[in-house]
Structure 1
Amino acid sequence: MKRSLYFAVSILAFGCGEPEVTTEVPPLEVNVVEIQSQDVSLEKDFVAQIYGKVDIPIRARAEGYLEGIHFEEGRMVRKGDLLYTVDSDPFQEGVNVAQSQLASAKVNLTQAENDLARYEPLAAMNAISQKDYDAAVARRDAALAMVDAAEAQLSFEGIQLSYTQIKAPITGLIGKTEAKVGEFVGRDPNPVILNTVSLIDSVRVEFALSENDYLQLFREYQLEERRADKQKPLKLILSDGVEFDQVGYVDFINRQIDATSGTILIQSTFANPNGLIRPGQFARVRAPMKEVKAGKLVPQRAVSEFQGRFFVFKVGEENEIVQQSITILGPYRDYFLISEGLQEGDQVVLEALQKVAAGQKIQPVVVPFESKFSE
């Protein structure tokens, strides 16, 4: 009994010794960025179709069987190069007939002129009637007209024969042939357009604006800023997401809104010195829509959305997290441009959004935001 009492007293004495030491957990270190303001050009992307600076269809103007192809597909051709030949025999026959008709007409003209030459001195001596002389003059004039008609026919047949040799109308890039040797060309449904030659040292880029976008752009730019030296440049985003290294400018706006689609056609031109861009490609035109002075930018990955409302975690007094609602004007690169909710110099949480909550105290670590878009 005494041993048990002694043991209990010993435990009680040990338990009433020095007080237990508690360790305070330090605040969580969180990367934050400071809100800055700068002049911002809001941009918008539009789906675009690319064409050559000049796209010339190569047509078969002479009907017949294709005899030869004299170029390499997908290569450059020079103006005047022979591209195709069509069977020329029927057209050569037309030339031969016209030549014989011209020769016959010239013989008739010679005879009529000789007759007139004999009648002229006789008419001067009143040895023949005026009626016979006038008839000789008329025969000469008719024979002369027949020669002119025969020459015109020969010229026409020669032009038809020339259509059997199809030559490049411009210097440019030629595409894949639509007809092979031996095919009948020049009449539907057989090939009439055999190929296309494109000039691609610069390219035409066409895209459509909605009526609202058009009105916004028109009001933003104003009429005097539509001159080339004052236009804002357009960017071209290729299908792989890479921005083309040349800028373009609007050079044509269609006269009317398409009643079916509610859009207006815009054409712009981009230099293409390396020939990277080819007709038929699809791309996106990035156009500046609005200039905002001293706009406040927030990295997109720092913004959360819930039921259509946007907010950020802002560092408040004594480094306490505050859930701050914001109003977004629109995206800008990998930022959001905001109009309300934050001021320049405010700090917002950039990373570890799932690890923080409103009311939590943190240790903010200010870091620069590295945009993936080059300035």
Structure 2
Amino acid sequence: MVALGLSVTACEEQKSANGGAPAAPPPPEVLLTTIETKDIPVSYEYAGRVAGSREIEVRARVSGILMERTYTEGELVKQGDLLFLIDPAPYEAALAQAEAMLQQQQATLAQAEREWKRIASLFERNAVSARERDSALSTLELAKATVAGARAEVRTARINLDYTRVEAPISGVTSQEAVSEGSLVGTGQDSSLLTRISQLDPVYVNFAVPDAESLQLRNMQESGALTLPDDGRLKVDLRLSDGSPMADAGYVDFTDSTIDQNTGTIRNRAVVANPNRDLMPGQFVRVMVKGMVLRDAVTVPQAAVLQGPKGMMVYVVDGENVAKPQPIQIGRAIGDRWLVRDGLKNGDKVIVEGVIKVRPNQPVRSVEQKPGEQKQGEQKPDGQKQQAQAGNR
């Protein structure tokens, strides 16, 4: 009871010394950073899908029995390699018949030329009539036309015979055969698909950009806030499905001029080198488009941004060390920082640590963060920890 009475008496004496009110807490200590505008490289990430830069359907161009497949499915073939052989016997016979017909017509032409020379000589001596001369000339012209037709038939027969050898139109990787050996293949509307060839070096990576984001980038570029590389070519990095990166993989070579009505996006395409065939058609990848630079950009650490009643805000400290709430408009995240579209300017001092202790329009005890300075709460490297422990001892 005596101890309790002494304690109460001590508290009453302390209140009397302070004028009857408890002592005010000291201003909270906070860490500040000064806003500096600077040029910031930015990149944008999208989902993409790989496609062969050239994808060819190999079809039969003549009808017949498929006699042989000469390639290994799924392997690389070179342009001009033999892929399939269609039974050539009917086309060899057709070529021989066309050549025989040509020889016959050439003989007829030679006879018509001799007859024309004889008639023309007799006509000059008035030995034959003009009617006979005209008849010989008509026979000669008809023989010439017949020979030209026969030559065309020979050329067609030779082309059809060549088509019995189905060769690779491009270099690339073959798909599984669509028709087995021994099958009857056709032409025209029923032209038989034999296989497909995909050129895999380079490959295309197709991706889509939302139209709203595309419009924003275009407006920023027109205003000078965003600049492109000097050559206007945006480079791309890729991240594969297993997370492995492909740096400087390629560049954007096509942007569509229309918006897809179904998705509200604009189609884009990148050309990517693929010498080791790491990328396959149909594969999904992440596409990082880079090469753009934001001019005089303002960013703040994400830890400094709070959700206020009217949107995003930060605390700005004025010259009298009073923390005032400042509404801001944030853009995209750049690393561990937010891009600030509006609300902050060069030289503003923003609280980055100790925000939860701050009250609006109340004084704070500020410590400004210097470049390369270690933040509060971070652990020192092992060497510095050992030196500190040695000093304490």
- Same fold, TM-score > 0.5, yes or no: yes
Question: 2:82: which partner in 1?
Answer: 82
- Is contact 1:326–1:338 with CA below 8 Å preserved after alignment? no
Residues 1:346 and 2:352 are matched in the alignment: yes
Q: Aligned pair count? A: 320
**Which residue identity is paired with 1:99?**
E
Question: 1:252: which partner in 2?
Answer: 254
Shift of residue 135, structure 1, vs aligned partner: 0.8
In the superposition, relative to structure 1, how do residues 344 and 216 fare at CA in structure 2: closer, same or farther (>3 Å)? same
Residues 1:291 and 2:291 are matched in the alignment: no
Distance 1:246 1:338 in 2: 25
- Is contact 1:53–1:200 with CA below 8 Å preserved after alignment? yes
Secondary structure (helix, strand or coil) at the match of 1:85 reads strand
Deviations along 1:59-95, one digit per CA (max 9) or x if unpaired, are 2222222211111222222221111112223323332
Shift of residue 345, structure 1, vs aligned partner: 7.4
Question: 1:48: which partner in 2?
Answer: 48
Deviations along 1:171-221, one digit per CA (max 9) or x if unpaired, are 333333222212233458967332233333322222122221221222334
Deviations along 1:150-183, one digit per CA (max 9) or x if unpaired, are 1011111211221111112223333332222122
Identity %: 29
Question: 1:137: which partner in 2?
Answer: 137
In the superposition, relative to structure 1, how do residues 112 and 217 fare at CA in structure 2: closer, same or farther (>3 Å)? same
**Which residue identity is paired with 1:69?**
R
Secondary structure (helix, strand or coil) at the match of 2:235 reads coil
Deviations along 1:307-336, one digit per CA (max 9) or x if unpaired, are 998899xxxxxxxxxxx9997533335x35
**Which residue identity is paired with 1:347?**
E
- Is contact 1:56–1:197 with CA below 8 Å preserved after alignment? yes
Residues 1:337 and 2:338 are matched in the alignment: yes
In the superposition, relative to structure 1, how do residues 271 and 337 fare at CA in structure 2: closer, same or farther (>3 Å)? same
Match of 2:244 among 221, 229, 242: 242
Secondary structure (helix, strand or coil) at the match of 2:241 reads coil
Distance 1:241 1:308 in 2: 39
Deviations along 1:84-142, one digit per CA (max 9) or x if unpaired, are 11222332333233222212211211221222233233222222212112211211111
Question: 2:184: which partner in 1?
Answer: 184
Q: Let me know the Cα RMSD of the aligned residues.
A: 4.1
- Is contact 1:34–1:348 with CA below 8 Å preserved after alignment? no
TM-score by length of 2: 0.67
Shift of residue 364, structure 1, vs aligned partner: 4.7
Shift of residue 269, structure 1, vs aligned partner: 1.4
In the superposition, relative to structure 1, how do residues 52 and 102 fare at CA in structure 2: closer, same or farther (>3 Å)? same
- Is contact 1:83–1:168 with CA below 8 Å preserved after alignment? yes
- Is contact 1:328–1:336 with CA below 8 Å preserved after alignment? no
**Which residue identity is paired with 1:271?**
A
Shift of residue 147, structure 1, vs aligned partner: 0.3
Distance 2:223 2:108 in 1: 70
**Which residue identity is paired with 1:295?**
T
Distance 1:223 1:295 in 2: 19
Secondary structure (helix, strand or coil) at the match of 1:140 reads helix
Shift of residue 250, structure 1, vs aligned partner: 1.9
Question: 1:149: which partner in 2?
Answer: 149
**Which residue identity is paired with 2:378?**
V
Question: 1:273: which partner in 2?
Answer: 275
Deviations along 1:224-280, one digit per CA (max 9) or x if unpaired, are 966772444222222223322333322112222233332222122122233211222
Secondary structure (helix, strand or coil) at the match of 1:57 reads strand
In the superposition, relative to structure 1, how do residues 304 and 265 fare at CA in structure 2: closer, same or farther (>3 Å)? same
Distance 1:144 1:223 in 2: 73
Question: 1:28: which partner in 2?
Answer: none
